């Protein structure tokens, strides 16, 4: 998978526009960010907040094929912006979604709860 992502100029993440998907954090989006690839995101909700906060991609409304095509064309013709999104996404994942750090924070929380319980 690593070589496949490395060969991509950008990665696409799409889900249907249903309420349940607005609360999902699709792993593929984190994989794309960790691989340093800009994201074409057609998923609304919490994952949109992550991508937009990171400045790691372009959001288009789910089901809006025209907007998605325009976003593809934009990234295809703006190499510098692709590279900036790539760097920002990778850095954001490293800073905010480090599994070792999150695991330790969870252990710390459980220990605090046990001490007060």
Q: What is the domain class of 2-116 according to CATH?
A: alpha beta
Question: What pTM was estimated for this model as a whole?
Answer: 0.84
Identify the band that residue 116 occupies on the pLDDT scale cut at 50, 70 and 90: confident
3-state secondary structure 46-107: HHHHHHHHHCCEEECCCCCHHHHHHHHHHHHHCHHHHHHHHHHHHHHHHHHCCHHHHHHHHH
Tens of pLDDT along 3-60? 888 889 999 999 999 999 999 999 999 999 999 999 999 999 999 999 999 999 999 9
């Amino acid at each position: 998978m690593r070589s496949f992502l490395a060969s991509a100029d950008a990665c696409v993440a799409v889900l249907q526009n249903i309420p349940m998907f607005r609360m999902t954090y699709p792993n593929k989006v984190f994989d794309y960010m960790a691989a340093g690839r800009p994201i074409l995101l057609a998923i609304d909700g919490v994952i949109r907040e992550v991508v937009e906060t990171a400045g790691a991609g372009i959001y288009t409304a789910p089901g809006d094929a025209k907007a998605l095509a325009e976003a593809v064309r934009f990234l295809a013709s703006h190499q510098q912006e692709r590279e900036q999104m790539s760097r920002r996404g990778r850095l954001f994942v490293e800073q905010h979604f480090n599994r070792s750090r999150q695991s330790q924070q969870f252990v710390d929380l459980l220990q605090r709860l046990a001490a007060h319980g």
